[in-house]
Structure 1
Amino acid sequence: MKRLSSTMAIALACATCYAQDLESGGLDLQLTPTMPENVRITSSNSAEYNGETGLVRYLGGVQVYTDTGLQIFANQALVDTKKKLVLLNGDVSIYQNAVLHRGDKATYNYGTEELDTSGMRTSLDPILLDSDNFSSKTVNGKRVFIGKNAGLTTHDREKPNFWIKAKEIEVYPEEEVIFRNLKLYAGETPVFWLPYLAQPMDSQLGYHFTPGVRSNWGAFLLNRYGIMLGGDENPDSGRKENQWLLSEWQFDIRAKRGLAAGVDFTDTRLDHNPNLGWLQLYYANDSDPSISRTGLTRTPISNDRYKVEYKDRYQWQNTPGIDHIVDANFTYLSDQYYLEDFEPRKYTLNPQPDNILAYQRRSDTMQLGAFTRIQLNDFYQADQRLPELYLDHAKRPVFGSSILHEGSSSVGYYREDTGDLSEYRIRTEAELTDTTPERQSELSRILEKKNFGRLHTYQELSRPIEVTDGFTVTPRAGAGYSYYWDQGENNNTHSSPHGYLGLDAAMKFTKRFDSVKSDRWGLDELLHVIHPYANISVLATNELEDDGTKIDRLTPTERPRPFDVARYSAIDDYQNWSIVRLGTRNQLLTKRDNKSHTWLTLDSYIDAFLNDPEFNRDFSNLYNDLRWNPVPWGSLSVDTQFPINSEGFTELTTGLLFWPHENIELELGHSYLNNHPIIADSNLVHGRLFFRVNQKWSLGTYHQWQLDDNTLERQEYSFYRNFQSWTAGLGFFQRDNRIKKEYGALLNISLNALPSLNLPFSIEAQ
């Protein structure tokens, strides 16, 4: 037995013991081991070498390095130079790239470069693996880790509070994890089982489910499984590469509505635009379609409920700077209640989806296109364009001069259908004997044929003139023409020329306050900018009659109308007007992160009418729009309008976001409307609170009150429990629409360290 110094051990360790034939005499002598090229071992103590057995023993602070990047740390190591094995014992840690193995013992074969980590726990940050037999292999240049009778967790504790266990787990780092015969344990208790699960690292892929209860669904469980399709197969690994088509397969169970299934296909090459690139199919065999969220009586509908939705964009360039775009946007529904019943969030935002096929040729200065809008769903009111051609010019200099031109032109055939359901209700009302003659006349006008052809063009010239430093005047002049034919029941025609004159004047005054500094309010110097401005707009036109067919028309609003004719989209509601707007915009600017930051803005203005196109007013309300963003943890917006005489109405809309403490997030809002000539009065208040009680518990609330009739329209309560490695959330809500109350409860469980690699119990109060 020879005792080697640690320095000598570095030069001689992990060697292959060999017998060397000396050329002079042919003696077979046992020599010290020679250095292999792929392994190096060091230790804090001296090493012992036995020439007869070929064993090298290391005691204390053992470190093993290989040319593959593998690093091993242990208390003891025994090197068998004949079998080319390194046996490691005591607090063994093995590092290779982002992978960490930890345990009491391990074996490394430096001849085959194989590592036996049976009984060790493996970490692929933030994943922890525990298996009876853990191995790894390289497939097409990528490392794959395989565990037999293995468990997976992200809770890095001696006794994790959850495990996902399976007969076999395959981990493809940064790609996916495959489980066979999976069981989910909360502590030591099994709570879920699946025969097979391939869970990609992408949160959209793999298995997701949403449990809960709603008043119009009963108890429900929504299941979704996402996989990627398309791409090319790699001949070496047999796996698909460059996959671009996301498919999400759905199977839903609702206690009151029965079973439903569907699939969503999404083109991930259009990830930058989440509103394009998908085909969605969904079918529900509704066991009780008469159930309503609103409590209103429904017309009878079929038990077969379905949706087909297709949105896609094809874009190409033949010439640099010129894009050609084809858009398709179609939604076909089984009935008028489908969105309300199965997609309430989409129903709130867009209850009557469009059906459009469009082409456009777009450059920096011009857009030429054609589109058609058709009515696939005949149960709601919609306009059709069969088709419409248009040409829009952006504002640009005329022949390089200081005069700017912008304009738009269109021609098309238009039709508006009331919708079968609305038409049925209107005809039913018209047949009632107690309907007044005035109402009968109005109902007849609603049911009249609404169609026409229209040619429209409008062109405008403007020229900014800097009168002096800080004072700019921009005169505008525009002209246009609209021609209608085949209009209404009698196929009328209408000719309407348009003439426009406008003037924009603006001034600018500034004052700097260098001494203003406040870390608390986010101030580092202050610049006050005052913009007094005046706009004059005069439009002369041959107006359509009030009973004429109008498709592009005004809708009720409490905000002031735009009077920039070039951007006025309500073509059929062109009216004679003469309007003067006077206002002042105040801005307070400060420095933040070496950039200018708008600390506060207040825009105050009023309109004076020489010819009011809507309500025969002399003056509008006095408008004040305030935006205050002093610090990242607080912001305020206030929009007000008050009448200056007895003819106006009052509006006050306030929004406050505030973080008074690092554990408290607060949102408050108030919307008040009184005495509007069209829109109903409202006095609406809402509040949202999120409070982190401690590191384990959080709670959130949301309330919405209509103070006009003292109705609590919506209330939500949510509770969150942080279990270090995963978070559980439970939410409740109730909605009161004054006819029927709707309620629901939802559950959410997600892994904190790796939310995409769990069985996400997705929560969304739809």
Structure 2
Amino acid sequence: MKLRTCILILLLLLPTLLQAAEQTTGAPGMTIRADVMTHDAATDLIKANGKVEMIWQDMTMTADEATFNRTNQTLVAKGNVYLVKAGDILWGDHLTMDTETGRAEMENGQIFMTQGNFRANGKQIGKTGEEEYALRNGGLTTCDAAVPSWKFGATELDLKLEEFATGKNVIFYVKDIPVFYFPYIILPVKSERQSGFLFPKFGRSTKRGEFIDIPYYWAISPSQEALIDLDVQTKRGIGLGVDYRYLRNRNSDGSIGGYLIYDNNEKKERGQLVQFHKEQFSDSFNLITSLNLTSDRTFLTDYGEKSGEYNRQYYDSRIVLTKFWDHWLTSAQTIYTQDFYSGSNTTTLQRAPELSLYGVREKVPYIPNLYFDLDLLATNYYREKGTDGQRAVMEPRLTSVNSLFSGRLNLSLFGSLQLRGYNTNKPDPGIKDDQLVAIPKAGAELSSSFSRIYDTSFLDLQRLRHELVPTLSYLYVGEKDQSNVPVFDQLDRVNAQETVTLSLASHLGGRIAKQGQGTAEYRNLQTLRLLQAYNLSGTRPNLLTLLDDSRRWSDLVLESETWMHRYLRLLADLRYSHYDHRISSTASGAELNDQRGNTARISYRMVDRQLDYLEAGATIALTNPFYLGYTTRYSFDKGDILESNYTVEYRHQCWSVIVGYQDRPNNRTWTINFNLAGLFGIGTGGTTGYRAPAP
């Protein structure tokens, strides 16, 4: 009786147990699960219904129902079909797939690719390769929203991930509003550096008129890239900018950039060439070439975009060959200078070649605490008009370094002889053809150091270290008449002097640890230096304050760097005149950077009777998704703003726009630049930053 009861219960539960456990293998390495499955032996078809799941290789497919042909390895799935591979998803209403080749067709399908956040849809989607798709009546975007901020719609769209998407009859939509039509288009769809057009930059300026920059980025190879920029201006014409960059072995690298335009205003071709190359032959032997050339003297004034470009005084082009040894350094260089402030470059001194040899301080044998070093410089100066010639400078130097009173005092003594030889061509009146100048130099420096450590509980500061370094120095430069030698640079006029200088340096450092945190950091808090000099005889050159011979006392100099916070730094360089009882020059400012995109800086520079201006700037990221930027330079001596720059950037999940405004005397410029994530700007392109210069 009990046996019959058990058999009856088992028969009643058998359908339920079978339904919950239906699983089979469609092919080697493939697993199929579903609520209900049947197998037709004649056709070798497996039919699955209800919560169908198929797993093979690195692919997973789910659907409401599916049929798998084990003979030809084909799959047909219907209803809520999802095909997932490594996070990439293809889903839709109806799927036909060859599981051996990976080729598939999906009706009313959509695609999501994690790399680049690419999203595409189509009435019909064909998977033609590992990462290749053919879409019909579909679209492409990188936006997450159901109604994307932007998308490209096309009747035909072929997509190859990490390469390109090509489309026919393409419409660019903002939301669901059609904006642009393209009969044919090629779009880069790659999250790494790649070739392709970047989004154009639009603008308007006083000098250029309306303009558009169309940049094309060319990823030539893993070690080479180029940016080509077509610059169309309504007032000046059409320009072409190129920036090519490359990497070589042994940390060798270089770049070549240029810009060329036929200027409609000047009725001539104008341009700029910029080149840099570093060839590292070995750890101790390298070659550097740097070319900076413009077609005319006012090119940067008209086309320079930043401060330091449009107001540049001169350009240097040079070729430098350098060799290092343990205690010696030698170099050979050629320097060509374009002086934009001079009336003509025919009077500008050029240097070719210039040879130098420097001996690093080395101990003299058999004599304790005595060291020898050497500076040697030979230059050939030439120019079309004016005095030129050759000059050789040699200065051997002996230095004695001593520690006194068990290291409490440090004494340094030195003596040198500067020898300058000249061979002068086309000398001015009073200048000799050949001349040898010998100037003796000597000096001494006495210094000490006092330090103390304080325990403190002020805020997060646990320990404070204070060090004072007083220094007394003496400098002697012998007197020599140099009026009969030419002036090529500052080395040709060495002022005789006897100067005593007293300085005091203060260094503050602290150990900082937040409450409840075991780790601590050591941080410099302040460096401060006071300096005062007195001339016993002769004159002391000072390019900033222009002291005359009657002023024995130098300016009192204060230099400081103070970290008020890890994000806030104060800088000061003040010079106080004892004779005028006022600050004669200063270069002071403050910098703030919270490491989260918010920065601010302000600096004030003043040199008596020469310049007086304020520079400030800020970037603000607190207004996310809006990011603001501002820089300005104001001249107090001219009573006018030299330059102001404003930028507003709006960053969306899948696009951004930057609006910029620059205000300079005689020129105002508006620019607008769009970026589409994954296609233009964001996540595309390389490291090049060259653009056709915009005034």
Structures share fold, TM-score greater than 0.5: yes
In structure 2, the residue matched to 1:130 is: 120
Q: Deviations over 1:166-195 (max 9, x none)?
A: 54344343xx43434565432232347484
1:287 aligns with 2:264: yes
Contact 1:373–1:383 (Cα < 8 Å) also in 2: no
Inter-CA distance 404–518: structure 2 relative to 1 (3 Å threshold): farther
- Give the % identical residues: 15
DSSP-derived class of the 2:309 partner? helix
**Equivalence map 1:417-566=2 (5 Å):** 449-467=386-404, 468-487=406-425, 488-489=427-428, 492-519=433-460, 523-540=461-478, 542-545=480-483, 548-553=485-490
Higher strand share: 2
- Provide, for residues 268-326 of structure 1, a one-character-per-residue CA deviation record: whole Å limited to 9, x for no partner: 338978xx62333432111102xxxxxxxxxxxx5221334443233313xxx532x23
Give the letter aligned to residue 492 of structure 1. D
Match of 1:257 in 2: 236
- CA distance in 2 between counterparts of 1:131 and 1:598 reads 57
Alignment RMSD: 3.6
Question: Is 1:341 aligned to 2:291, yes or no?
Answer: no
Aligned to 1:680: 610
SS in 2 for 1:653: strand
From 268, 275, 278, the equivalent of 1:303 is 268
> CA distance change for structure 1 residues 493 and 184 in 2, over 3 Å: closer, same or farther?
farther
- 1:746 pairs with one of 657, 671, 676: 671
2: distance between equivalents of 1:635 and 1:197? Answer: 49
Residues 331-386 of structure 1 show CA distances to partners (whole Å, capped at 9, x for unaligned) of 44321111222234363474422232332222343222222234688943532123
| Mapping of residues 12-411 of structure 1, within 5 Å | 12-13=24-25, 15=26, 36-42=27-33, 46-51=35-40, 54-60=45-51, 62-67=52-57, 69-74=58-63, 77-81=66-70, 84-89=73-78, 91-97=80-86, 99-117=88-106, 119-132=109-122, 134=125, 144-149=131-136, 151-165=139-153, 167-173=156-162, 176-181=163-168, 183-188=171-176, 189-191=178-180, 193=182, 195-197=184-186, 199=188, 201=191, 205-208=195-198, 209-229=200-220, 242=221, 244-269=223-248, 277-289=254-266, 303-317=268-282, 321-323=283-285, 325-345=286-306, 347-348=309-310, 350-374=312-336, 379-380=344-345, 382-398=348-364, 402-411=369-378
1:315 match: secondary structure: strand
- Shift in CA distance, 456/688, structure 1 to aligned 2, threshold 3 Å: closer
Give the gaps of 5 or more residues in structure 1: 16-35, 230-241, 290-301, 419-448, 554-570
Q: CA deviation at 1:543?
A: 4.8
Cα shift at 1:409: 0.8
Supply the distance in 1 between the matched residues of 2:311 and 2:633 (Cα, whole angstroms).
18
1:70, 1:95 within 8 Å by CA — same for their partners in 2? yes
Residue 488 of structure 2 aligns to a residue whose secondary structure is: coil
Which residue of structure 2 lines up, in the alignment, with residue 700 of structure 1?
A: 629
Q: Which runs of 5+ in 2 are unaligned?
A: 1-13, 513-518, 542-547
Q: Which residue of 1 aligns with 2:589?
A: 655
Counterpart-to-counterpart distance in 1, 2:580 and 2:100? 96
Structure-2 residue corresponding to 1:626: 560
SS at match of 1:340: helix
Change (3 A) 1:327 1:710: closer
| Cα offset, 1:457, TM superposition | 0.9
Q: Deviations over 1:74-129 (max 9, x none)?
A: 56555444553444455554432353334455444334444444512222333223
How far apart in 1 are the matches of 2:201 and 2:501? Answer: 53
Distance 2:246 2:211 in 1: 29
Distance 2:352 2:625 in 1: 60
Structure of higher RCO (CA pairs closer than 8 Å, 6+ residues apart): 2
**Which SS does the other structure have where 2:579 is aligned?**
coil
Aligned to 1:423: none
Report the Cα distance in structure 1 between the residues aligned to 2:53 and 2:567, rounded to whole angstroms. 50
The equivalent of 1:26 in structure 2 is none
- Name whichever of 724-733 and 688-697 sits farther off: 688-697
Instruction: Determine the C-alpha separation between the residues in 1 that align with 2:38 and 2:171.
Output: 48
Is 1:590 aligned with 2:547? no
Match of 1:437 in 2: none
Aligned to 2:382: 415
Map of 2:578 onto structure 1: 644
112 and 304 in structure 1: CA distance in 2 versus 1, 3 angstrom threshold: closer
Paired positions, count = 644
Could you say if the C-alpha distance between residues 658 and 47 of structure 1 is closer, same or farther in structure 2, counting changes exceeding 3 Å?
same
By how many angstroms is 1:58 displaced?
A: 4.6
| 2:529 aligns with one of 600, 603, 608 | 603
Moved more, 125-134 or 1-10: 1-10
| Structure 1 position 541, deviation (Å) | 5.3
1:637 shift after superposition: 1.4
Listed as ranges, the matches of 1:706-717 within 5 Å are 706-717=635-646
Secondary structure at 1:578's aligned position in 2? strand
Task: Report the secondary structure of 2:315's partner residue.
Answer: coil
CA positional deviation for 1:585: 1.5
**What SS class does the counterpart of residue 555 from structure 2 fall into?**
strand
Q: What SS class does the counterpart of residue 354 from structure 1 fall into?
A: strand
